[in-house]
Amino acid sequence: MTVKTILSALLCMAVFCGFSQTKTDSIIKTEVRPIKVNDSVIDGKLIVPKKVIPAEVDSLGIKSLHDLPEAAELDQKWLNELYSTSLFDTIYKSVSELTYEPVNYPQLTTDTLKARLKRLNARTPFNVEYNSSLENVIKGYLKHRRTSMERLMGLSHFYFPMFEQEFDNYNIPLEMKYLSIVESALKPRARSRVGATGLWQFMFATGKEYKLDVSSYVDERSDPIRSTTAAAQYLSRLYRIFGDWDLALAAYNSGPGNVNKAIRRSGGYKNYWNIRQNLPRETAGYVPAFLATMYIFEFAEEHGFKPERPAFQNIQTDTIHVKQMITLDQVAETTGVKIEELQFLNPSYKLDIIPKVEGKTYVLRLPREAVGVFAANEDKIYAFANAEFNKREKPLPQIFNADTKVRYRVRNGDYLGKIARKYGVRVSQIKRWNGLRSNNLKIGQRLTIYPRNPSTSSSSQSVKKVVNTTGKKTYKVKPGDSLWSIAQKFSGVSVQNIKDWNDISSSKLKIGMTLVVSK
């Protein structure tokens, strides 16, 4: 959608239907597994140990959020997909450079394809009619993009239910959900070369027109619910102009002005296939890519597709209205939800910081089990966040002195979240310093890191001093524990107290280690 801003010259300003994030509090099923301390990265692939960690009940009677048994079984390929942008790059390139050369794919005969397209045409308002160009695109996808299609089918189980709900609210054909695959390969933070962003690839001006907040902290073009609502409103208006969903799709990509020019240059024809040769190159391949994707998804079983997805797909999430500024790191520290899972559930927060701005409402999406933990300890969590903020000059990326940088070599078992916590920095910062586009790491890879506290975290060979525990109250670290959750178990004890009493400078804990929890 590279020319959407043309819409503002043709349409009156959109009347934005008051969107309340509370409407998204309905159950949304996630397919994400928190990365664990014992996970390993081998040849760029995440190896997941088959281990189930039980939940604990803390001294407040609140069930601490630990790794769900079902989540522990998610396969490594699925987790790699959640944080990879390779699919978006592949799709973007294939649409803009789509060719219609004949493809030898004997598994699908022309007669069979014609019959299936006829059935598909009968149940959708799109013009799904056979032509040789569409046949070649479909066969090309089946022959050369089978693996990527299976991976997209896996991701679709998380996103499609929310897309269908929003499209139903605006009387948009439910098959329009396949547009998100052509636009972004289901990557909420996908960004094109010209700046179109999110699942539905809104340009900055169009996003603003549809009330999508874009600031230094937030980009709601990456918010799955809000951006889908905006896309539904936009598509609805385009359909009112053209009265044809194929032309609405073309206008979504290149703008209604380009579609109108193509209609004029074609002598007044209004069927997409009759004006295609007069559309911009990318748009000419746009609708065929959409129709080919729809065909493959709708007839996936007939073609023997086996989507790579987790065995457990029913992890429920809910939202909490944030009352003050808080970071995803702080939420992870206090709820036990891994930072990688929080980033996946909250993709619109650009710096992993949820701001508090007068007149605006921002929400935190959590697994439902963690919502109870957060709500029951809300005051304590905000107090902890305040204390953390007060230690910093400003909660924005710091300007680091080159003299403090560390060259870190990736080891077996490392992942970005683990390395970030080791040096007191953010995953996004490590990626920016090293030009990383995904979360994938390889054993032996070198990373440049600027530690928050060079004097205590730059050396990986520092030795922990032995602490005398004689006559003092101690606590043995259990699965799912954090310094914050341990401090809550003992009256008058803070995170800093535990650090001081045990001569530790980081928040990293090992299961089974003994901590002094009294002065």
**pLDDT tens digit sequence for 383-435:** 999 988 887 654 444 455 555 778 898 988 788 888 887 888 878 788 888 98
Q: What pLDDT was estimated at residue 460?
A: 40
Radius of gyration of the chain (CA): 25
**Count of beta carbons in the 10 Å neighbourhood of residue 311:** 11
Q: What pLDDT was estimated at residue 91?
A: 53
Q: Which two tokens stand for residue 326?
A: 């808080």
Phi and psi at 319, nearest 5°, equal -115, 155
CB 398 within 8 A of CB 425: no
pLDDT confidence tier of residue 502, bands split at 50, 70 and 90: confident
CB 318 within 8 A of CB 366: yes
Amino acid 458 reads: S
**Count of beta carbons in the 10 Å neighbourhood of residue 181:** 27
Mean pLDDT of 436-446: 84
Task: Give the C-alpha distances (Å, rounded to integers) separating 231 from 161, 235, 403.
Answer: 15, 6, 47
Query: In whole angstroms, what is the distance from residue 273 CA to residue 261 CA?
Result: 15
Architecture of domain 4-21+84-298: Orthogonal Bundle (1.10)
Q: What pLDDT was estimated at residue 95?
A: 60
Least confident of 3-17, 134-148, 465-479: 3-17
Q: What pLDDT was estimated at residue 94?
A: 56
Alpha helix ranges (H) inside 74-145: 76-82, 86-96, 110-122, 132-144
Percent of the chain with pLDDT over 90: 37
Closest by CA to 250, choosing from 209, 206, 285, 208, is 285
Strand-pair category, 406-409 with 363-367 = unpaired
DSSP for 189-242, written as a single string? T-B-TT--BTTTTB-HHHHHHTT--B-SSBBGGG-HHHHHHHHHHHHHHHHHHH
- 258: pLDDT strictly greater than 70: yes
Classify each residue of 88-118 as buried b or exposed e, where b means 16 or more C-beta atoms within 10 Å of its C-beta: beebbebbbebebeebebeebeeeebeebbe
- 166: pLDDT strictly greater than 50: yes
Q: What pLDDT was estimated at residue 228?
A: 96
Which residues of the chain does CATH 3.10.350.10 include? 31-61+397-462, 474-516
Question: How does pLDDT run across 72-131, given as a tens digit for each residue?
Answer: 443 343 444 444 444 454 555 556 556 667 788 899 999 999 999 999 999 999 999 898
Residue with the bigger pLDDT between 90 and 440: it is 440
- 23: pLDDT strictly greater than 50: no
**Average per-residue pLDDT for the chain:** 77
Which residues of the chain does CATH 1.10.530.10 include? 4-21+84-298
23-27 long-range contacts, CB within 8 A, separation 24+: 24/162, 24/225, 24/319, 24/363, 25/318, 25/319, 26/165, 27/316, 27/317, 27/318
For domain 31-61+397-462, give the CATH superfamily: LysM domain (3.10.350.10)
Q: Coil, strand, or helix at residue 315?
A: strand
Secondary-structure class of domain 474-516 per CATH = alpha beta
